[in-house]
Amino acid sequence: MGKIKVSEQQKYKHLFKKRPLYKRILSSWLSYLFIAPILIIFIWWWVIPFITSLGLSFCRYDIFNPPKFVGLKNFKTVFTNPVFWVAMKNTAIYTGVTVSIGVTLSLSLAVLLDQKIRFRNFFRTVYFLPSVTSAIAISVVWRWIYSPNKYGLLNYFLSFAKIKPLNWLGELNLILPSVMMMAIWGGIGYGMVIFLAGLQGISNSLYEAAEIDGANAFKRFWHITLPLLRPTTLFIVVWSIINGFQVFEQMYIMVRSIESIGGPLNAGLVVVAHLYEQGFERLRMGYASAVAYVLFAVIFTITIINFTLLKPKD
Partner 1 sequence: MKRLIIFLIAIMLITGMTLVGIAEEKVTVTYWHTMGDTEEAALNKVIEMFEEQYANIKIKPTRMAYDDFKPALLIGIAGGVVPDTARLDIIWVPELAEIGALVALDEKMEGFDEIIANTYPGPTSTNFWKGHYYGLPQNTCTQILVWNKQMFEEAGLSGPPETIDEFVEDAAMFSNPDEEIYGYAMGGTYFWAPASIFYAMGGEVTDSGITTATGYINGEKSVAAYQALVDMYRDESLSPLLLGGGGIGVFEGLATGKYAMIIEGPWAQPILNSDYPDFEVNFALVPRGPDVTTSSVVGGENVVIFEGSQNKDEAMLWAKFLLSEESQLTMGEAGTMPTLSTVQGNERLPEYYDVFMEQLKTAKARVPHPKWAEMDNAINNAYQYMLRDEKTVQQALDDAAEEINRLIIEG
Of these, 8, 208, 211, 281, which contacts partner 1 (CB under 8 A)?
281
Q: Is 81 in the site for partner 1 (CB under 8 A)?
A: no
Residue 121, CA distances (Å) to 83, 114, 124, 196 in order: 46, 10, 5, 12
Distance CA(52)–CA(56), nearest Å, equals 6
The distance in angstroms from the start CA to the end CA of the chain is 18
Q: Is 289 in the site for partner 1 (CB under 8 A)?
A: no
Among 148, 140, 153, 144, residue whose Cα is nearest residue 169? 148
Among 98, 299, 78, 307, residue whose Cα is nearest residue 182? 98
Q: Report, in Å, the least distance between residue 153 CB and partner 1.
A: 13
Q: Is 133 in the site for partner 1 (CB under 8 A)?
A: no
Contacts of residue 39, defined as CB under 8 A and 6 or more positions apart, other chains included, come to none
Question: Which one of the spans 102-110, 147-155, 237-245, 305-313 is the region binding partner 1 (CB under 8 A)?
Answer: 147-155
Q: Is 177 in the site for partner 1 (CB under 8 A)?
A: no
Interface size with partner 1, residues (CB under 8 A): 22
Of these, 32, 257, 304, 307, which contacts partner 1 (CB under 8 A)?
257
- Say how many CA atoms lie within 13 Å of 215 toward its Cβ: 16
- Mapped onto helix, strand or coil, the DSSP state of residue 60 is strand
Of these, 131, 159, 167, 246, which contacts partner 1 (CB under 8 A)?
167
Kindly tell me which of 173 and 200 has the beta carbon lying closer to partner 1: 173
**196 neighbors 113 (Cβ within 8 angstroms):** yes
**109 neighbors 98 (Cβ within 8 angstroms):** no
- Mapped onto helix, strand or coil, the DSSP state of residue 59 is strand
Q: Is 67 in the site for partner 1 (CB under 8 A)?
A: no
156-180 burial by CB neighbour count: b if 16+ within 10 A, else e?
Answer: eeeeeeeeebbbbbbeeebbbebbb
Q: Is 283 in the site for partner 1 (CB under 8 A)?
A: yes
Question: Which one of the spans 1-9, 119-127, 164-172, 196-204 is the region binding partner 1 (CB under 8 A)?
Answer: 164-172
Question: Which one of the spans 34-42, 44-52, 143-151, 227-235 is the region binding partner 1 (CB under 8 A)?
Answer: 143-151
Kindly tell me which of 136 and 305 has the beta carbon lying closer to partner 1: 136
Q: Is 253 in the site for partner 1 (CB under 8 A)?
A: no
Q: Is 246 in the site for partner 1 (CB under 8 A)?
A: no
Kindly tell me which of 51 and 172 has the beta carbon lying closer to partner 1: 172
Q: Is 172 in the site for partner 1 (CB under 8 A)?
A: yes
Kindly tell me which of 29 and 280 has the beta carbon lying closer to partner 1: 280
Of residues 3 through 22, those in contact with partner 1 by CB under 8 A are: none
Q: How buried is residue 27: exposed, middle or buried, by Cβ count under 10 Å (0-12/13-18/19+)? A: exposed
Q: Report, in Å, the least distance between residue 76 CB and partner 1.
A: 15
Among 193, 182, 177, residue whose Cα is nearest residue 127? 193
Question: Which one of the spans 58-66, 133-141, 296-304, 305-313 is the region binding partner 1 (CB under 8 A)?
Answer: 58-66
Q: Is 290 in the site for partner 1 (CB under 8 A)?
A: no
DSSP state of 119: T
Q: Is 64 in the site for partner 1 (CB under 8 A)?
A: yes
Q: 1: which strand partners?
A: none
DSSP state of 61: -
Question: Which residues make up the interface to partner 1 (CB under 8 A)?
Answer: 62-64, 147-149, 151-152, 167, 169-170, 172, 257-260, 264-265, 280-283
